[in-house]
Amino acid sequence: MISLLIIIEEIIFILATIGKISNLFFVLLFSILIGVILETLFKKKIYKIILAILIGILFITHFIYYSIFESFLLVDTMFTAGMALPFASILFDKILSNWYIILFMIIPIAAYIFLISKIKFDFNRKIGGIIAVILYLFIIILINFNTSLKNIYYKINLPLENISNFGLLTTIRLDIQRTIFNFEDDVSLNVDNDFDYSDNNYNILDINFDIDTDNEEILEISEYFKNQQATLQNEYTGLFKDKNLIIILAESFSELGIDENITPTLYHLYNTGFKFNNYYSPLYLRATADSEYILDNSLLPVDGKITLEEDVNNYMPYNYATVFKKEGYNIRAYHNYDYTYYKRDEYFGNLGYDYLGCGNGLENKMNCNQTIPSDLEMIEATVDDYINDEKFMTYYVTMSGHANYEWSHSIVQKNYHYVENLPYSEKAKYYLATQIELDKALELLLDKLEKNNRLDDTVILLIGDHYPFGLTLDEMNELSTYERDNTFEKTKMPLIIYNSEINNQSVDKYCSNLDILPTILNLYGIEYDSRLLLGKDIFSSSESTIIFHNRSFITNRGKYNSLMPIFGESLTEEYANQIKDEIYYKFKISRLILENDYYKYLKDQLE
């Protein structure tokens, strides 16, 4: 009976999260296997009732976690899950908005408990053990005859595909097993290339990758980079040479918050200067922290880790702070929230920023005690710190746009009178109210720059960390100028690179936050080796790949959904497999770089 309960819970869970069961046959087989094992181990009714309750809690917990982060709660993340959810209201909001799915999960549990208490069911342990062994062997033989299933079961750590093919409980078992035995992705890539750089028009340095070490992982990274193709310099190389730079990583900033009348400064910045029409910012497990890591280093985050926290001691040669400090800029960073959050004090400190957040000095300049602190107050309190420097690079991580979008949000209360009469739902209006605060902050910043004669020689890089996942898709589409889907288009975001001397240049190339760092390095004419970054200069002729957490992707040839692949004349299966192999390897290389502090082996050549 418990097998049937598990089957029902697995089906409800997979359909409610992923939306598709890739292999119902194996989900059923694994569910039956687990049920047989549990029936064999626990014969007393009270144990079975406790098991049923625990199974229900497990499925519901994982469903709620997925509904918030669009990722799964695994071993490495469950101990730090609370770090990514500072506001309990988000949790309660997701529970309330998904009550009917949770109810569907509870009903089979309640029915099972009722039936098990009424029906006598005697399960022979010896026979159960034999059935479990035979069933397990049968499953393994079938998996080994299917190359695709064999790869995801044995070789590659893809929790989402594991769940879709094998079910949640089997994925949890695989995750625990891989954590204990230090699982390594078994991926390889043919990178034996020979490029001709004799014309010297590439962003490349003369690097000797033949590192004297016995560390095989270091050698593997070097071999990978040595055989990557560098990007060509172009007409935009050095366009912003010696100009100041202000980077604003804006919480939940999206095109949804750009309106000519409601947020006129954002509208001006978005429609002036460079306008990137196909920029996407995929959501990764750690939301802002992962987006920040990608933006800063042009590397992918590592599954199961808060990558930003793991990077607090590594040498990162092309991080904005490292590069601009070497170019003679004064570098500062600000965050209007807890200055230690995601270990930003250590992360920014390692990079050399003069860093202020709430708790190490910013609270003396602004009110940090609101439920959500103000971006406007942060800009107003800090702009005079650097505006008269000869050359400055300033990095802001904002907070005003953070979910949850409800009346208790201090910024919503402050700006609601601007939006109360708009024809949108309350949550959509609440979101717009938060973006008004960012708009006011930027208005003040531009005004200060202009009054101090620094506007023309300053570049503003403004991006959102992720789409506003505090809104449902329907609420997002209320504010959208086109119908967004739940896979790709909800992650389409604004990328603003603004300078008052640039006049409305439209860029259609597909790109993501992985490409921003090499783009800025090229725009500032900074010598760098483009092979050492996973992203590509957006203005170069090199193709970019927009990489999603579940290994879906977008290129100029099409969009590939890893769970529901559709092939055609442009996006063939052969091409998709080639790009998938490259993506798997990029994730592996990013992990190896982080774990081995790889760039320090090249430090003498890069400084």
| Whole-number pLDDT of residue 94 | 81
**74: enclosing H helix or E strand:** none
What are the CA-CA distances from residue 361 to residues 144, 335, 336, 367 (Å)?
Answer: 59, 11, 11, 11
User: Phi first, then psi: what are they for 267, rounded to 5°?
Assistant: -60, -45
d(CA 212, CA 287): 37
Smallest CA-to-CA distance from 5 within 118, 105, 117 is with 105
In the chain the domains, ranked by start, together with CATH numbers, are 2-180 (no CATH), 216-606 (3.40.720.10)
The answer for residues whose C-beta is within 8 angstroms of residue 447's C-beta and 6 or more apart is none
Q: Establish how many alpha carbons lie within 13 A of residue 171's alpha carbon, considering only the half-sphere containing its beta carbon.
A: 26
| Whole-number pLDDT of residue 191 | 62
d(CA 412, CA 395): 25
| Whole-number pLDDT of residue 85 | 47
Q: What is the CA radius of gyration of the chain?
A: 26
> What pTM did the predictor assign?
0.88
- Tell me, rounded to whole angstroms, the distance of Cα 499 from its chain centroid: 28
What are the CA-CA distances from residue 374 to residues 64, 262, 367, 370, 377 (Å)?
Answer: 29, 18, 8, 8, 5
CB 257 within 8 A of CB 438: yes
| Whole-number pLDDT of residue 87 | 53
d(CA 285, CA 263): 30
Count of CB atoms situated within 10 Å of the CB of 364? 10
What are the CA-CA distances from residue 508 to residues 174, 275, 277, 534, 539 (Å)?
Answer: 42, 9, 5, 20, 10
Q: Beta 546-547 vs 553-555: how paired, if at all?
A: antiparallel
CA 196-202-206 angle, 5° bins: 75
d(CA 335, CA 354): 12
Q: For the chain, which residues score pLDDT lower than 50?
A: 82-86
Smallest CA-to-CA distance from 548 within 362, 357, 291, 177 is with 291
Q: What string of DSSP letters covers 122-154?
A: ---HHHHHHHHHHHHHHHHHHHHT-HHHHIIII
User: Phi first, then psi: what are they for 335, rounded to 5°?
Assistant: -145, 125
